[in-house]
A and B are shown apart, each in its own frame.
Chain A
Amino acid sequence: MNLGRTAGGEGGVIQALYFDGRSARGQPVLLHVDGSDLCAQAQSASPQDMPPAPLRWPLRSVVWPERTRHGQRVVQLRGGGSLQVSDATAFDAWRLAHGARESWVVRAQQNWRAALIAVLGMAVLVVAGYHWGVPALAQGVVALIPPEVDRSVGQATLAQIDSRWLSPSTLPAPRQAELKSLFAQAVKAAFPTGQTLPAPDYELHFRAADKRIGPNAFALPGGGIIITDALVELLQGHDDTLLGVMAHELGHVQHRHGMRGVVQLALVGAVTAVALGDFSTLLAGVPALLAQLAYSRDAERQSDAMAVQVLRAAGKSPAVMVLLFEQLPKARGDAVAPPIALASHPMDEERMHFFRDAAQGR
């Protein structure tokens, strides 16, 4: 089997099996390069016979296999034939001796240092994609989705949670109207007509909810903002804080966080599916879920900025929001603080700082 390396000549010869593409019988041949041709010389049947004329193919028409450490080499020839070489090491050396040039991908594939760089590159790509790529892409995709889609998704969601977790509000109608007009005035002040950015469309809904949801507010895609009766009661006498909460939810509406969440989930899922797809769809789903929780923290920060904007426009101090974070833990009672990875909200401390700083004009 060492014939390939011991035989002399320009770059030597190499042992191969020639298949003509019609028969499964391989013919042992010796390969060598003659000018611009690849030649395969079959051995003669007996030592006395003249060797048959070699088979020739122009080098340019030959499809060479890529180098790998394991496995045999198959050379594709014009006309459906092929050459099979079992001594891959000898073959690769022979090819190199004939000035074979490999693509940099092949060289990288066979090089641990390049593989390590690729791992680092992947890490950079994952981190960068996670921080900027996916949110930016999601924003672009959401910009393409017509707002009617948001509205229909929002309506469907509201119908669903209404039937399971919410019931009609018990707040007196005048109180509801008072809060609605308070908020409407503040929004109008924050987005004066003629300004480049118009206020997002929204609709306030008051709902009663059981203890699991408690004092709460949330925004739906399409502009629905739900305030629970428990929250209004918790912030009794602090309409400014309530205003801030509603403005925070308006921030979710303006940035279309609901739809962005859906798109981001799909994007992260798709990328991990490309990497690990043929192994397991589940593993592809886990990073998407974790990323989603982190993205929602960023969404909270954006919405807090909106709360500050509306409160200032209404002539209130952003510091009124601090009250919310003081009141909520009491209302939460014995609920355990979630571990960091699952905490979808920035820590309350951080958010209180944000509103206090905003109050001082920082």
Chain B
Amino acid sequence: MEMAQMTGAQTTGAHRRLALKFVGSGSEYFRIWIVNLLLTLVTLTLYYPFAKVRRLRYFYAATEVGGQPLSFHADPWKMLRGYLLVGLMLVLYGVAGKVSPTAGLLAFVIVALVWPALWHSSLRFRLANSGWRGLRFRFTGTRGGAYAALAPGFVAAAVLVGLSATMDVRPGAPDPSFTPTVMALALLPLVFMLMAPWLLWLLRRYQHRHYALASEQTQFSVPLRSFYGLALRVFGLGLLVSLVAGVMVAVLFPVFRALAGGGDPTRALSFIALLPLLVMLVLVVVFQLALRPYVTSRSQNLVWNGTRSEHISFDSQLRFWPLLRLTLKNWFFMVITLGLYFPFAAVATARMRLEAVQVLTRSDPEELLATLATHEEAAAGDAAGDLLGMDIGL
């Protein structure tokens, strides 16, 4: 039925395409970034929410949809409260794990219980503080929905944490090679890998079926199998990339072994400790460079092309090769400028990703929203004071 409506709309020529345009500049964002970064560090990160608001304001205001800019209105003081709360929680979580395994397990359970509520609150906060054409967006998902979306992931993680807590790893303990616990622990990463597309799909579905503007409310129509299909292609590309990485490690290994030296006290030990890190480093570099642009482009297209409301849909055509070239360029300049190129990279990436998207509407958005919005209570009213100012992002 939806297909019939779509084709009907196209034949009558009622579709309008609103282009996304990003007008921000790297040099301007550089100044904003460096000034706010300095303030953040000088204040021992207490300034962070203020820096974040400035960054988001700049990026929102520089994003024009059909010639009209997005806007971001959050109160940084509210966000400071949320930032301190989340920060305190994460510090306690980190400390608890160091004190004893039981305390760590308890902290994990507490975080798992609180996190979905924080996520939900954060989504509402972000959307309620974003606007376009004087209208505020809304996030209409429920707190219960957030728990349902995150529950499978947390259950799997809880099983992992629980199993490793019960395992006896003290020296002198009986050889654990064949106990069922160890077998389960060995299988869990595999289970996680198989679950990952599903977990991600649950997450995205919860987000993308609850965005609202005026009386437009998005639906998410990407089937689960598309996520698995994408995961399979990423896995295949990953194998290819790992092969390349393997060759790189093989080339680098003798160099580092020579550096490890023979008898100097502690140098050999530090080499042994560093070796897995070096392998990780090489793997991460290759994955970041090749795999990440692929995942980014394909999942952006998949998710946004499958998101639509009654009168609005999206057309995202982010291409892999240009994004890969941009990523390589960004990395090159990031390295030779010791990170100072970062704001230029961020702006260029935002531009490419945003300008790949077009918004399709069935009628003049001005008319459409104006007539429908009158049925709504004041759209701006949702920035309710009970929101904690969470903006954790996921």
Query: A175 an interface residue at 8 Å Cβ cutoff?
Result: no
Q: Which of B237-245, B293-301, B334-342 contacts A (4 or more CB under 8 A)?
A: B334-342
In the complex formed, the residue of A with least CB distance to B132 is: A24
CB distance from A45 to the nearest CB of B (A): 17
User: Assuming A23-B373, A211-B262, is B281 touching A285 (CB within 8 A)?
Assistant: yes
Most buried by A among B23, B171, B265, B274: B265
Question: Do residues A25 and B370 form an inter-chain contact, with CB atoms below 8 A?
Answer: yes
Question: Do residues A275 and B366 form an inter-chain contact, with CB atoms below 8 A?
Answer: no
In the complex formed, the residue of B with least CB distance to A278 is: B346
CB distance from A74 to the nearest CB of B (A): 4
Question: Do residues B259 and A342 form an inter-chain contact, with CB atoms below 8 A?
Answer: yes
Distance, CA A279 to CA B264, complexed state (A) = 38
Query: B35 an interface residue at 8 Å Cβ cutoff?
Result: yes
CB distance from A66 to the nearest CB of B (A): 7
Q: Which of A5-13, A31-39, A114-122, A195-203 contacts B (4 or more CB under 8 A)?
A: A114-122
Distance, CA A283 to CA B330, complexed state (A) = 12
- Name the one of B35, B265, B274 contacting A115, with C-beta atoms under 8 angstroms: B35
Query: B38 an interface residue at 8 Å Cβ cutoff?
Result: yes
Provide the residues of chain B in CB contact with A159, threshold 8 Å: 170-171
In the complex formed, the residue of B with least CB distance to A146 is: B99
Provide the residues of chain B in CB contact with A20, threshold 8 Å: 134
Question: Do residues A82 and B134 form an inter-chain contact, with CB atoms below 8 A?
Answer: yes
Distance, CA A325 to CA B346, complexed state (A) = 50
Question: Do residues A214 and B23 form an inter-chain contact, with CB atoms below 8 A?
Answer: no
User: Assuming A24-B369, A111-B31, is B379 touching A335 (CB within 8 A)?
Assistant: no
CB distance from A87 to the nearest CB of B (A): 13
Query: A234 an interface residue at 8 Å Cβ cutoff?
Result: yes
Distance, CA A245 to CA B376, complexed state (A) = 78
Question: Do residues A24 and B268 form an inter-chain contact, with CB atoms below 8 A?
Answer: no
Distance, CA A32 to CA B54, complexed state (A) = 27
In the complex formed, the residue of A with least CB distance to B73 is: A76
Chain B binding surface, main DSSP class: helix
Question: Do residues B264 and A328 form an inter-chain contact, with CB atoms below 8 A?
Answer: yes
CB distance from A352 to the nearest CB of B (A): 13
Query: A80 an interface residue at 8 Å Cβ cutoff?
Result: yes
Question: Do residues B259 and A336 form an inter-chain contact, with CB atoms below 8 A?
Answer: yes
In the complex formed, the residue of A with least CB distance to B67 is: A86
CB 8 Å contact bits of B357-380 with A (1 = contact, 0 = none): 000000001111110011010111
User: Assuming A289-B277, A335-B258, A345-B267, is B61 touching A276 (CB within 8 A)?
Assistant: no
> For window 286-316 of chain B, which residues contact chain A by CB distance below 8 Å?
288
Distance, CA A118 to CA B39, complexed state (A) = 9
Distance, CA A84 to CA B57, complexed state (A) = 14
Question: Do residues A279 and B269 form an inter-chain contact, with CB atoms below 8 A?
Answer: no
Provide the residues of chain B in CB contact with A212, threshold 8 Å: 260, 268, 272
In the complex formed, the residue of B with least CB distance to A332 is: B262
> For window 91-129 of chain A, which residues contact chain B by CB distance below 8 Å?
105, 108-112, 114-115, 118-119, 121-122, 125, 129
In the complex formed, the residue of B with least CB distance to A324 is: B265
> For window 22-61 of chain A, which residues contact chain B by CB distance below 8 Å?
22-26
User: Assuming A21-B378, A80-B378, A105-B39, is B133 touching A333 (CB within 8 A)?
Assistant: no
CB distance from B55 to the nearest CB of A (A): 9
Provide the residues of chain A in CB contact with B264, threshold 8 Å: 216, 328, 332, 345
Query: A165 an interface residue at 8 Å Cβ cutoff?
Result: yes
- Name the one of B30, B269, B274, B288 contacting A213, with C-beta atoms under 8 angstroms: B269
Question: Do residues B48 and A274 form an inter-chain contact, with CB atoms below 8 A?
Answer: yes
In the complex formed, the residue of A with least CB distance to B53 is: A66
CB distance from B367 to the nearest CB of A (A): 8
CB 8 Å contact bits of B54-97 with A (1 = contact, 0 = none): 10011001101000110101000000000000000000000000
Question: Do residues A66 and B266 form an inter-chain contact, with CB atoms below 8 A?
Answer: no
- Name the one of A74, A108, A109, A337 contacting B71, with C-beta atoms under 8 angstroms: A74
CB 8 Å contact bits of A217-259 with B (1 = contact, 0 = none): 1100000000000110010000000000100110000000000
Query: A173 an interface residue at 8 Å Cβ cutoff?
Result: no
CB distance from B304 to the nearest CB of A (A): 20
CB 8 Å contact bits of A322-346 with B (1 = contact, 0 = none): 0000001001110111110010110
- Name the one of B41, B263, B272, B379 contacting A215, with C-beta atoms under 8 angstroms: B263
Query: A191 an interface residue at 8 Å Cβ cutoff?
Result: no
Query: A362 an interface residue at 8 Å Cβ cutoff?
Result: no
Distance, CA A69 to CA B25, complexed state (A) = 9
CB distance from A266 to the nearest CB of B (A): 9
User: Assuming A22-B378, A70-B28, is B38 touching A121 (CB within 8 A)?
Assistant: yes
Provide the residues of chain B in CB contact with A335, threshold 8 Å: 258, 260-262
Provide the residues of chain B in CB contact with A331, threshold 8 Å: 262-263
Query: B12 an interface residue at 8 Å Cβ cutoff?
Result: no
Distance, CA A145 to CA B135, complexed state (A) = 51
* Besides A339-B259, A342-B259, 14 other A-B contacts (C-beta < 8 A): A21-B134, A25-B366, A71-B23, A71-B61, A82-B134, A109-B32, A122-B37, A165-B272, A211-B262, A216-B266, A296-B270, A328-B263, A338-B259, A344-B266
Provide 20 A-B residue pairs closer than 8 Å at the C-beta atoms, listed in order of the A residue: A19-B134, A22-B376, A22-B378, A24-B373, A25-B370, A65-B57, A70-B25, A70-B28, A74-B131, A76-B73, A109-B31, A109-B32, A109-B35, A118-B34, A122-B37, A146-B99, A279-B330, A285-B281, A296-B266, A335-B261
**Across the A-B interface, the 3 shortest Cβ-Cβ residue pairs:** A19-B134, A80-B380, A24-B369
